[in-house]
Structure 1
Amino acid sequence: MKLCLLGGTGRVGRELAARALAAGHEINLLARDPQRIALAGENLHSYTGSACDPNALLSVMKGADTVLSALGTDGGSVLSESAPLIVSAMREAGIERIITIGTAGILNSRTEPGLLRYQSSESRRTLTRAAEEHHAFYRTLSDSGLAWTIVCPTYLPDGEYTGVYRAERDYLPADGVQISVPDTAEFAFRQIDSLQYVGARVGLAY
């Protein structure tokens, strides 16, 4: 399978790239600074550019079957700006499936129905800008008609791979506190071959 990977130089993105290469997939990876790509191989093709550049998105998506996005907020508005451009590029490239890494803040609140976690008393964060960026990305995908899945880990230390964790559709698993980067990447990678969570946010925690 040929994968398009956005945000592949970040913590989860690097894990996703490593798993995809180990599984024999071909990867088109878009990065603003290709020198930050920690992996190499004949199946890894790097493209220089921004996820907010329509031309760069079209180039990296050419021939891909699935889009993986581990884009972060990066202290700015890259998620809200890139979301409609990603959807447009996917349509032009004929790609239906996208799996992204979000945040537990955009899952449904258990204590305050009708609100997302970051909007409710469940959130311990005083600043909501990053969650608002992820929310904008979620809204765009939910209106896109694409086969999307947003993987929403709670507190995300680097940690170690365990392969043992809980996943719940649209909610954070009860009393979930954290999940490691490798376990998050594994779950996201497994969604490439699964339609179980199409059209859903998925809360992840131990």
Structure 2
Amino acid sequence: MNIAIFGATGRVGHLICAHSLEDGHTVTALARTPEKLKNLAERNASLKIVEGNAVQVEAIRKTLQGADAVISALSTDGGSVLSDSLPLILASMKQLGIKRIVAIGTAGVLDSRVEPGLLRYQSSESRRTLTRAAEEHHAAFRLLEESGLDWTLVCPTYLPDGPAEGGYRVEHNYLPENGARITTGDTAAFAYAQLFSEQYSRARAGIAY
């Protein structure tokens, strides 16, 4: 499979990139700083790096050229990069006939158990006083819903760095009850696996231990 990855230098995206290469797939990764992928590129001839950022249409199209599926592990980056870039990525996917995208979101955009009709970040389930990042992820969720593409939004809760531990729980559109954390290793492994599964097609997947 030819996989295009946005956010490949991030905590989760880098691990997804490594999984893809280990399994023999061809990966094209967009990176503002290609040096951050040097360790993978030196060991894998099937990794192609496009230098640029996710709000540059030409860089996006170059990254997507020949792709069978897309991973977006872009973060909010302290600004609007997520909501600015995703419309460009989705539009280019449609133009190139690419249907499948797996994106990394946040548990804040899962449905609230205690206040039906609200998302977790909008409800008393959230302990965060600042909602800017969640609002960015909410905008991304709406864009995916409206895209008409085959999307999955992986929504981890508190996300410490760490290897895959296994034993995590997953639920459609909700965070598993009493879920408190999930490592970057397990989040990356689960998100990567969704490229080959239809179980969470056009849905949010809440993931936690």
Counterpart in 1 of 2:29? 29
Counterpart in 2 of 1:199? 202
Counterpart in 2 of 1:138? 141
Cα deviation code 1:67-116 (max 9, x no counterpart): 00100001010111112111101011110000000000000000000000
SS of match in other structure, 1:39: helix
- For residue 20 of structure 1, report the CA deviation from its aligned partner: 0.4
Q: Which runs of 4+ in 1 moved over 2 A?
A: none
SS of match in other structure, 2:200: coil
Cα distance between partner residues in 1 of 2:116 and 2:92: 35
Counterpart in 2 of 1:116? 119
Unaligned runs of 5+ in 1: none
Aligned Cα root-mean-square deviation (Å)? 0.7
From 91, 101, 105, the equivalent of 1:102 is 105
Counterpart in 2 of 1:89? 92
Counterpart in 2 of 1:39? 40
Counterpart in 1 of 2:187? 184
Cα distance between partner residues in 2 of 1:56 and 1:164: 38
- For residue 160 of structure 1, report the CA deviation from its aligned partner: 2.4
From 76, 81, 94, the equivalent of 1:78 is 81
Cα distance between partner residues in 1 of 2:167 and 2:90: 33
The TM-score with structure 2 as length reference comes to 0.97
* 2:140 maps to amino acid: F
Counterpart in 1 of 2:152? 149
The TM-score with structure 1 as length reference comes to 0.99
Cα distance between partner residues in 2 of 1:8 and 1:182: 14
Cα deviation code 1:124-162 (max 9, x no counterpart): 100000000000011011001000000000000012211
* 1:20 maps to amino acid: S
1:161 and 2:202 equivalent?
A: no
SS of match in other structure, 2:147: coil
1:69 and 2:72 equivalent?
A: yes
SS of match in other structure, 2:127: coil
Unaligned runs of 5+ in 2: none
